[in-house]
């Protein structure tokens, strides 16, 4: 009796989950496999192939951004985790603070910096350099992704690093490991769950963004996100195609995430959420 009544507490949520999480995803699939009149068709999915270059570009740019994020964030997290407890929390706050500002505003700020007559080119001009084309390039898109999503890489890696028992490292040192060995054989393997969740947390928003590519990419560097947005609220209205693209994107991400989860599963399920 007790069991039933407390389980029932989840009932409202289960209904909510069914209606607003499961059904919408089914609708995406439904739209992906039907045409305007609602008849079954595979044309939409076939048409997605036409845009494979956009998928490739998105994966490519998102992957580059993820790697850059990782390269920047890993040493930073390592240094952060080595600081005194009090400095640590202050530093962490300073690192995370920009993330709390609306990302549209932050991305917009880069537009002012990177423009042909922007701050950076003006600055370079004083040294007789440039002007370089910085804005409206793929490089600018990558920069925007790194800038916006790097906190998602720092946090999980940091939270795993803090938990590494310092005595393990000392033990390794005592057993004759030099610092390179300590890094590669102790810290790196122990921090893998954090790295894995950091990678997914950067890669997923990066591959699906449409704001960054529009604001910093100049509209000529479409990403999957732009393509989806165009079909629903943009210049070429075609929700069936849009649903098909979303569907394909979801499948790709599902694949990538299953791979990542294989590596990061250990004990981080809750940490990932809590940080």
Partner 1 sequence: MKKILGKIYIALVLMFLYIPIFVMIVFSFNTTKSRTVMSGFTFDWYIKLFNNELIMSSLRNTIIIAVIASVLATVLGTFAAVGISRMKKIPRMIITNITTIPMINPDIITGVSLMLLFVFFAARMNFEFGFVTLVIAHITFDVPYVIMNVLPKLNQMDPNLHEAALDLGCSPMMAFRKVVLPEIMPGVLSGFLMSVTFSLDDFVVSYFTSGATSQTLPITIYSMTRRKVSPEINALSTIIFIVVVIVLVVKNIITTRNLKLTSEGERND
Partner 2 sequence: MTDKFKKAFSLMTVFMLMLTGCAASEDTAALEEEEEEIQTLTVADEEYYKQLQGQNITLNVYNWGEYIAMGEDEGTLNVNEEFYNLTGIKVNYSTYATNEELYAKLKGGGASYDIIIPSDYMISRMISEDMLCELDFENIPNFSYIMDNFRAPEYDTENKYSVPYLWGTVGIIYDSTMIDIPAEDIGWDILWNEDYADQILMFDNPRDAFAIAELRLGYSLNTCDEKQLKDAAELLKEQKSVVQAYVMDEIFDKMGAGDALIAPYYAGDALTIMEDNDALNFVVPDSGTNLFVDAVCIPSCVKNKLAAEMYINFLCEPDIAYANTWYVGYSTPNSRAYEKLDEDIINDGISYPDDNYLSENCETYSNLTEEANRTMQDLWTDMKSTDKTTPNKWIVPLFMALCIAASIAILIARHIKRKKDIF
CB of residue 235 to partner 2, shortest distance in Å: 4
246 binds partner 2 (CB under 8 A): no
236 binds partner 2 (CB under 8 A): yes
How many residues lie near partner 2 (CB under 8 A)?
Answer: 45
Residues between 196 and 235 that touch partner 1 (CB under 8 A): 200, 204-205, 207-211, 215, 225, 228-229, 232-233
73, 198 Cβ separation under 8 angstroms: yes
Q: Please report, for the chain, how many H helices and E strands are present, in that order.
A: 16, 0
133 binds partner 2 (CB under 8 A): yes
Which helix (H) or strand (E) element contains residue 200?
helix 192-208
Residues between 25 and 54 that touch partner 1 (CB under 8 A): 25, 27-28, 31
139 binds partner 2 (CB under 8 A): no
237 binds partner 2 (CB under 8 A): yes
Residue 186 is given by DSSP the state I
CB of residue 31 to partner 1, shortest distance in Å: 6
CB-based burial label for 96 (10 Å; 0-12, 13-18, 19+): middle
**Helix boundaries (H) for 103-187:** 103-114, 119-126, 138-163, 166-174, 179-182
Q: What is the CB neighbour count within 10 angstroms for residue 124?
A: 14
Residue 118 is given by DSSP the state S
Residues between 63 and 92 that touch partner 1 (CB under 8 A): 72, 75-76, 79, 86, 89-91
231, 245 Cβ separation under 8 angstroms: yes
CB of residue 192 to partner 2, shortest distance in Å: 6
Long-range contacts of residues 227-231, Cβ cutoff 8 Å, at least 24 apart: 227/51, 227/54
> Scanning the structure block, which residue is given the tokens 């894995």?
196
Separation CA 143–CA 134 (nearest Å):
10
Closer CB to partner 2, 150 or 172, in the complex: 172
Work out what residue 169 binds among partner 1, partner 2, none; the CB cut-off runs from 5 to 8 Å by kind.
none
149 binds partner 1 (CB under 8 A): no
37 binds partner 2 (CB under 8 A): no
249 binds partner 1 (CB under 8 A): yes
Separation CA 8–CA 263 (nearest Å):
35
203 binds partner 2 (CB under 8 A): no
Strand partners, 34: 40
Work out what residue 259 binds among partner 2, partner 1, none; the CB cut-off runs from 5 to 8 Å by kind.
partner 2
| Residues near partner 2, by CB under 8 A | 50-51, 53-54, 56-57, 59-60, 63, 87, 115-119, 122-123, 126, 133, 135-136, 138, 185, 188-190, 192, 196, 218-222, 227, 230, 232-239, 259, 263
């Amino acid at each position: 009796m007790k069991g039933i009544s407390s389980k029932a507490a989840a009932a409202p949520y289960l209904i909510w989950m069914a209606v607003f999480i499961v059904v919408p995803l089914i609708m995406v699939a439904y739209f992906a496999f039907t045409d305007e009149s609602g008849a079954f068709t595979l044309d939409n999915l076939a048409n997605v192939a036409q845009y494979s270059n956009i998928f490739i570009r998105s994966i490519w740019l998102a992957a580059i951004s993820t790697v850059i994020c990782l390269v920047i964030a890993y040493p930073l997290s390592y240094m952060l985790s080595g600081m005194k407890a009090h400095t640590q929390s202050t530093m962490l706050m300073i690192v995370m603070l920009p993330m709390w500002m609306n990302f549209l505003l932050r991305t917009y700020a880069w537009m002012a910096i990177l423009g042909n007559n922007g701050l950076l080119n003006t600055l370079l001009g004083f040294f007789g350099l440039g002007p370089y084309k910085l804005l409206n390039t793929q490089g600018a898109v990558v920069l925007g992704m790194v800038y916006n999503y790097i906190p998602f890489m720092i946090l999980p890696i940091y939270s795993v690093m803090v938990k590494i028992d310092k005595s393990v490292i000392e033990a390794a040192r005592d057993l004759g490991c030099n610092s390179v060995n300590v890094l590669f054989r102790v810290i790196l393997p122990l921090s893998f769950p954090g790295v894995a969740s950091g990678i997914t947390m950067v890669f997923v928003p990066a591959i699906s963004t449409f704001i960054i590519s529009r604001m910093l990419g100049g509209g000529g560097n479409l990403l999957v996100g732009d393509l989806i947005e165009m079909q629903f609220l943009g210049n070429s209205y075609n929700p069936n195609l849009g649903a098909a693209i979303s569907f394909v994107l979801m499948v790709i991400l599902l694949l990538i995430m299953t791979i990542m989860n294989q590596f990061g599963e250990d004990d981080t399920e809750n940490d990932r959420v809590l940080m």
